Structure 1
Amino acid sequence: MTGQLEVIGLSKQFIIEQKPLPVLCNINLSVKSGEFVSIIGSSGCGKTTLLRIILGLDTDYEGQVLLNGEQIHGTGLERGVVFQEHRLLPWLTVEDNVAFGLRRLAAAERAPLIKRHLALVGLGGFEKAFPYQLSGGMAQRVAIARALVNRPELLLLDEPLGALDALTRIYMQEELEKIWRKEKISMLMITHDVEEAIYLGDKVVIMSSRPGLIKKIIPVELPRPRDRGSTDFARLKEALLEEFQLGVPKLDVEYTI
């Protein structure tokens, strides 16, 4: 099985004005092959730092980060990433943006891969369009296709839908789940949206900050596709909000007429 991630005893600190500033403390986390894991937490809790370490962009830490049992050293095509901003190159067409990471392949080999992945994200027919001609949701779908075209074993998602309007975001959540089910790829997503974390995740990892700790890991044992309006969904959402002390207090209110 591929795409299995193990983070063991991970701690990270920065040096600010010659003083250590702990950012992550003893993080232990696993993503099974084909699992979708959501991470939520307040700003500054180290979520993005954790993703940078898993990507191999930051190597100055304590602990182990293993992919398929092997220690991660630097970046690699077995790990893809999608950021909050699509980061498409504006002077390249959609197909050229998707092909950007395939330059090692001959044109004849690239073409079917590009076609397949643009079809996967519902953008067949937009190959020659430029980023400025796309909506925000369409541009982010191109970014997802670009991340998937190298067939990574693990896809890291750093607030990938955070910049979208509310309706587009819900639509893109549904599309992302379809892609995940079809590709059977392991995914690890950072989000500030509790409902999004529940809708997409097999489990939700709650982080607290300063330094970043894993406070709790909650399995999401709801059938897919998930019904946002169901009682079970609402209960789980309330339980997660209460972890951040954002639950709505149940007050006894008397009304007089």
Structure 2
Amino acid sequence: MRSDFLSLRQVDKRFPVEDGELHVLDDISLNIRQGEFISIVGGSGCGKSTLLRLLVGLEQASGGSLQLDGAPIEGTDPERGIVFQDHRLYPWLTVEDNVLLALLNSPLSKAERLQRVHEHLRLVGLEAFARAWPAQLSGGMSQRVAIARGLVNRPKILLLDEPFGALDALTRAQLQEELARIWLAEGITTVLVTHDVDEAVFLGDRVVVMQPRPGKIGRIVEVDLPHPRHRDHPRLHELRSDILRDFARH
């Protein structure tokens, strides 16, 4: 299994502003193994969402390189699935059709596309809601649909930008458990951006701790616990406290 399946080398990002430029990311270097779950955590302004946008291909790096499976990341591509904080479902389409949209340019036949959609709705526990409208779903169910849509192309990596940030605490905890189950079932390389240290530690094989400004990798914390995990494990609390002390120092 490749240790540099997703590779970032000295990535730099600057945005032009009226009086010069805003330096957002500085010298980001990271190798991510195939099938690994990486959590990127940091406070507001540390550049973690900008880093995810570079991985999606919505932004271009000012310097350095980003590669997936040996090929440069250039523009958006179905091999990089994305789930945002806002589920972005089209209210005039059913659940089935919202997921089907991700296969719009697929070479699969119509029957094969529908089979793929229903496989992934089953994966997120929503096959019975295939003909429902987004307005009939709870926030947590809508995010499950978004995860199904992010996975239905069978991308090489799944990118998650604070996907549970707008949900209540109970729903958030339930979906964290669901995401862990889906990741174990699919074995897909996953990168999660979050400001929630508990979430980062519970889900990640490694936690990348970002520091501002400009955004840098402060350190990388190994979460030395097998999956599936129990939320009340003392080691998770220990790692959480360690990372929070890091934030307090900065």
Do structure 1's residue 49 and structure 2's residue 30 form an aligned pair?
no
Partner of 1:205: 208
Residues in 2 aligned to 1:103 and 1:156: alpha-carbon distance in whole angstroms: 20
Question: After the TM superposition, which residues 236-255 of structure 1 pair with which residues of structure 2 at under 5 Å, given as runs?
Answer: 236-245=239-248
TM-score, with structure 1 as normaliser: 0.93
Instruction: Report the aligned-residue RMSD.
Output: 1.3
Partner of 2:161: 158
Tell me how far 1:227 sits from its aligned partner.
2.2
Counterpart of 1:244 in 2: which secondary structure? helix
CA contact (8 A) 1:31 1:188 kept: no
Q: Match for 2:235: what amino acid?
A: D
Residues in 2 aligned to 1:210 and 1:122: alpha-carbon distance in whole angstroms: 41
Tell me how far 1:224 sits from its aligned partner.
2.2
Partner of 1:63: 64
Tell me how far 1:60 sits from its aligned partner.
4.3
Counterpart of 1:122 in 2: which secondary structure? coil
* Range that drifts further, 131-140 or 229-238: 229-238
Counterpart of 2:38 in 1: which secondary structure? strand
Aligned length: 246
Which stretches in structure 1 are left out of the alignment for 5+ residues? 247-257
Partner of 1:11: 12
Partner of 1:137: 140
Question: After the TM superposition, which residues 1-150 of structure 1 pair with which residues of structure 2 at under 5 Å, given as runs?
Answer: 4-104=5-105, 105-150=108-153
Write out the 4+ residue segments of structure 1 that deviate beyond 4 Å after TM superposition. Answer: none
CA contact (8 A) 1:45 1:208 kept: yes
Residues in 2 aligned to 1:22 and 1:233: alpha-carbon distance in whole angstroms: 33
1:110-156 Cα deviation digits (max 9, x unpaired): 11001100000000110110000000000000000001000001000
Do structure 1's residue 185 and structure 2's residue 188 form an aligned pair?
yes
Structure showing greater Rg: 1
* 1:91–1:4 CA distance, 2 compared to 1 (3 A): same
CA contact (8 A) 2:11 2:61 kept: no
Tell me how far 1:108 sits from its aligned partner.
1.3
Residues in 1 aligned to 2:21 and 2:138: alpha-carbon distance in whole angstroms: 43
Q: Match for 1:110: what amino acid?
A: R
Q: What is the aligned-residue identity percentage?
A: 53
Residues in 2 aligned to 1:62 and 1:154: alpha-carbon distance in whole angstroms: 22
CA contact (8 A) 2:25 2:47 kept: yes
Partner of 2:218: 215
Counterpart of 2:200 in 1: which secondary structure? helix
Residues in 1 aligned to 2:195 and 2:137: alpha-carbon distance in whole angstroms: 25
TM-score, with structure 2 as normaliser: 0.95
Residues in 2 aligned to 1:4 and 1:117: alpha-carbon distance in whole angstroms: 24
Which stretches in structure 2 are left out of the alignment for 5+ residues? none
CA contact (8 A) 1:14 1:21 kept: yes
CA contact (8 A) 1:117 1:149 kept: yes
Counterpart of 1:11 in 2: which secondary structure? strand
